[in-house]
Structure 1
Amino acid sequence: MIYSNQNTAAHHLHEIITRVRATNGTIAEAWASALDTEWGTHEFARRHSEVVTLLQMTIRQLGALPERSRARCERHVSAWWTAVMQPVVNWTDINRSPLGIIDDDKLDHLESAAELISGNLTGSDAAPRGGDLSEMTARCEEWIALLQSMGEDEIDGPVRAQLISQLRHLIWLVDHAGIFGGARVAEEASTVIGSLARTGATLVHMQEGSQTGWRKALLALVAACVVFNTAAPILQESITAGVGFAREIANVVQDTQGNE
């Protein structure tokens, strides 16, 4: 699936809130419909928490805008937060329409903020350029298989479990990119790469085969992410994590971008 330049967290937050407002029924029913899941379930909580993350990303990315644009957008943040959280409203009240969670003007300002983020930050994690996410899923599945194949003498069980959990969540985000968007995938991918790189730098008892597999798998995941997104955040995560083969990562990035 190919994603357009309208791929920021703010764009997808705007789309989700717009769907909620356009749905008949209670606020709870409207959110369940917009997130394509059942109200009150674990899956609903998981998906709505990702909406909160989209809001958090939007607020953070406003700080990267030019001062006047940032100040203009930040005046409306509390209205966007209220639309997502509805803290003083009974979500199941049949007398409250989803249309009332935010007014048109505040919602329009969210869309304007999305365009400003996209225009100023295209190619970063905030506004990935798009691409085929299937390769990222395949690389994550290979990582899970590698981690599961390693013995307890090579990697501690809790460390393995945490990495696998992160990888599975990244796969889940790819599967639901139509709802939460590419920016959320890009941010999580950079975080996962950083976690894998940091862990690889600290494991001292890996077998030779595991060391080779770890290196190849990390470079393959970097390549898959570069196809989807810019290289800068990935390189930053990896170098900060203390990867000893940053030059190899840079070469993979250069080769991948050269083939685009």
Structure 2
Amino acid sequence: MSFSNENTAAHNLHTLIARVRSSAEGTIARSWSAVLGAEWGTIDFIRRHTEVVSLLQLTIQQLNALPERQRLRCERHVGAWWAAVIQPTVNWTDETRPAHSIIDDDKLDHLESTADLISGNLVGSSAAPRSTDLDQMHNTCNEWIDLLTSMGEGEISGPLRDQLISQLRHIIWLVENSELFGGARIADEASTVIGVLAQASASVVNMREESASRWKKAFITLVTACIVFNQASPILQQSITAGEQIVKEITSAVDRGR
């Protein structure tokens, strides 16, 4: 298990922009296409570039967790990072606009410095996970999908079930593309799913005893996977205990819904 601190959204954003900027491709479009591994204009390309935008959004959001002087210093460069990702006034297929023009060295260096500040201040949280071992997360999401797929309309509403399955599949996709988008995006999406599952626990009705038991166990497992991934904790029992405590708070709601 890796204990690298360089796993923030800002670090991965910096890496992607730097790769595009140094690409030998002739246009911005082809450069992004090469870096993201998807053909320009396709749904796959749009999906992947949208994740780059999500990395930028997370970076901006996490600036608010920095001490004020650091935050203000970093925020001065947000516009340049946004322009590098979006290029709103430039034709991406223009042969006279090479990719190295999307951002200058100084602004790119400031992004990496910001990433280091976020890592130093927030390491061990979902903003700066300490681990790169994603096997448990991947397996847990698949287990959840199996559980939700097995539940009928009488136990959980179809739209809620489909929403959860979609979110879990997105986490799996992020895990499979972690070399591009990094751990912080995965941790952020997993935290969102945990929140939705906690709310769903209070709204499910007529849940069978077997399903309720699997639900509680799967919830603990997902919380454990998130804590271990964020903190690179070598002691699983602490994470399991934390998950169990959360489950205790929603158990009565689940039991009422059975």
Shorter-chain TM-score above 0.5: yes
Distance 2:66 2:166 in 1: 33
What SS does structure 2 have at the residue aligned with 1:244? helix
Which ranges in structure 2 are unaligned for 5 or more consecutive residues?
Answer: 232-237, 253-258
Structure 1: how far apart are the matches of 2:218 and 2:101? Answer: 48
Matching residue of 1:15:
15
Which letter maps to 1:174? V
Aligned equivalent of 2:156: 155
Whole-angstrom CA distance in 1 between matches of 2:249 and 2:22: 48
Distance 2:162 2:72 in 1: 42
Unaligned runs of 5+ in 1: 247-260
Aligned residues of 2:9 and 2:59 also touching (Cα < 8 A): yes
Residue in 1 aligned with 2:83? 82
Q: What do residues 102-160 of structure 1 show as CA deviations (whole Å, max 9, x unaligned)?
A: 00000000000000000111111111111410111111101101111111111111111
Specify the alignment match of 2:127 in structure 1. 126
- Taking the TM superposition and a 5 Å limit, the aligned residue runs for 1:22-171 are 22-24=22-24, 25-171=26-172
Structure 1 residue 3: Cα displacement: 6.5
Q: Report how many residues are paired.
A: 242
Contact 2:148 2:161 in 1 (8 A): yes
In structure 2, the residue matched to 1:249 is none
1:38 counterpart letter in structure 2: E
Distance 1:204 1:225 in 2: 27
Q: State the 1:244 CA deviation.
A: 2.1
**Counterparts of 2:249 and 2:165 in 1: how far apart (Å)?**
20
Question: Which residue of structure 2 aligns with residue 211 of structure 1?
Answer: 212
Q: TM-score, normalised to structure 1's length?
A: 0.88
- Partner letter of residue 10 of structure 1? A
Question: Please, which moves more after superposition, 198-207 or 84-93?
Answer: 198-207
Q: Which amino acid aligns with 1:172?
A: W
Task: Give 2:250's match in structure 1, choosing from 232, 238, 244.
Answer: 244
Kindly state the Cα deviation for residue 164 of structure 1 after the two structures are TM-superposed: 0.1
Q: Deviations over 1:139-194 (max 9, x none)?
A: 11011011111111111111111000000000011111111011111111111111
Aligned to 1:251: none
Equivalent-residue separation in structure 2 for 1:175 and 1:117 (angstroms): 24
CA distance in 1, matches of 2:160, 2:92: 39
State the distance in 2 between where 1:62 and 1:181 align: 18
- Measured in 1, the distance between the counterparts of 2:3 and 2:41 equals 30
What secondary structure is seen at the aligned counterpart in 2 of 1:181? helix
Instruction: Give the structure-2-normalised TM-score.
Output: 0.89
Aligned equivalents of 2:157, 2:149: Cα separation in 1: 11
Sort the Cα spacing of 1:131 and 1:34 in 2 relative to 1 into closer, same or farther, 3 A.
closer
Measure the CA separation in 2 of the matches of 1:115 and 1:95.
Answer: 34
Q: Bigger shift: 141-150 or 216-225?
A: 216-225
RMSD: 2.1
Query: Offset at 1:4?
Result: 2.2
Q: Partners of 1:202 and 1:195 in 2: how far apart?
A: 11
Letter in 2 for 1:84: V
Shift of 1:2: 3.9
Alignment check: 8 A CA contact 1:8 1:118 kept: yes
Percent of matched pairs sharing the same residue: 62
For 2:125, give the aligned amino acid. S
Post-superposition Cα deviations, 1:47-91, rounded to whole Å, max 9, x if no partner, equal: 100100100000111111111111110000000000000001000
- 1:204, distance to aligned residue in structure 2 (A): 2.1
Structure 1 segments (4+ residues) deviating >4 Å: none
d(CA) in 1 for partners of 2:219, 2:205:
17
CA contact (8 A) 1:9 1:126 kept: yes
